């Protein structure tokens, strides 16, 4: 089986998984999520590069790298989802599929600002409110793309 490279990119505050609002995001950590994504990817014939950053320019650089390499992307842009035109512009240039993922469902959250995504117009699929399992579903989507 031909292995395919995939980037799994995570935005601000996701490094705080396990301690930040566990009632919303659970108690598992970013390290747990990275391990799961690599295991799920391996089972699907994907080589997963897992990254997290709290710095918008770093995320833009990672998305540029994905565009240059024609790599599929699983993106949880976190708060940037709702306002970062720099992230949106970087997503617009991707040539391989992009799956937008959110651990919670932003549309059901009480903060109105969470109800808009500048990433969605560039995503082949959006998976929200499925917790870590959303990443597995995103990787399955990309494996079949």
DSSP letter at 126? E
The residues carrying an active-site annotation are 25, 102
Q: Residues 66, 22: contact at Cβ < 8 Å?
A: no
Token code pair at residue 98 = 């992009």
pLDDT tens for each residue of 7-36: 999 999 999 998 877 777 677 899 999 999
For 108-128, what is the mean pLDDT? 83
- How many Cβ atoms sit within 10 Å of the Cβ of residue 122? 21
Q: Name the residue ranges covered by the structural domains of the chain.
A: 4-144
Mean pLDDT over each residue of the chain, to the nearest integer: 92
Q: Would you say 9 is a known binding-site residue?
A: no
Q: d(Cα 114, Cα 128) in Å, to the nearest integer? A: 12
Residue pair 110/137 in contact (Cβ under 8 Å)? The answer is no
pLDDT score at 145: 72
- Does pLDDT of 75 surpass 60? yes
pLDDT for the residue 128: 94
- What are 23-72's pLDDT values in tens digits? 776 778 999 999 999 999 999 999 999 999 999 999 999 999 999 999 99
State the pLDDT at residue 109.
67
What number is the average pLDDT over the span 81-110?
91
Q: What is the predicted pLDDT for the residue at 25?
A: 67
Is the Cα dihedral 81, 15, 27, 50 positive or negative?
A: positive
**Domain 4-144 belongs to what architecture?**
3-Layer(aba) Sandwich (3.40)
C-alpha to C-alpha distance for 2 and 131, rounded to whole angstroms: 29
Helix, strand or coil for residue 118?
A: coil
46 is in an annotated binding site: no
Q: According to the annotation, is 76 in a ligand binding site?
A: yes
pLDDT of residue 108: 67
130 is in an annotated binding site: no
103 annotated as a binding-site residue: yes
Q: Kindly report the pTM of this predicted structure.
A: 0.92
Task: Establish whether 107 is an annotated binding residue.
Answer: no
**pLDDT value for 115:** 55
């Amino acid at each position: 089986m031909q292995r395919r490279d995939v980037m799994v990119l995570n935005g601000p505050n996701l490094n705080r998984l396990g301690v930040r609002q566990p009632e919303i995001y659970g108690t598992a950590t970013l390290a747990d999520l990275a391990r799961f994504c690599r295991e799920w990817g391996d089972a699907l014939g994907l080589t997963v590069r897992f990254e997290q950053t709290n710095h918008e320019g770093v995320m833009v650089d990672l998305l540029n790298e994905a565009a240059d390499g024609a790599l599929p992307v699983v993106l949880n842009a976190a708060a940037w989802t709702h306002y970062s035109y720099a992230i949106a512009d970087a997503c617009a240039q991707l040539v391989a599929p992009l799956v937008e993922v959110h651990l919670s469902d932003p549309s059901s959250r009480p903060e109105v600002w969470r109800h808009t995504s500048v990433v969605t117009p560039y995503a082949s699929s959006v998976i929200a409110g499925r917790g870590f399992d959303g990443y597995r579903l995103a990787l399955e989507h990309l494996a079949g793309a």
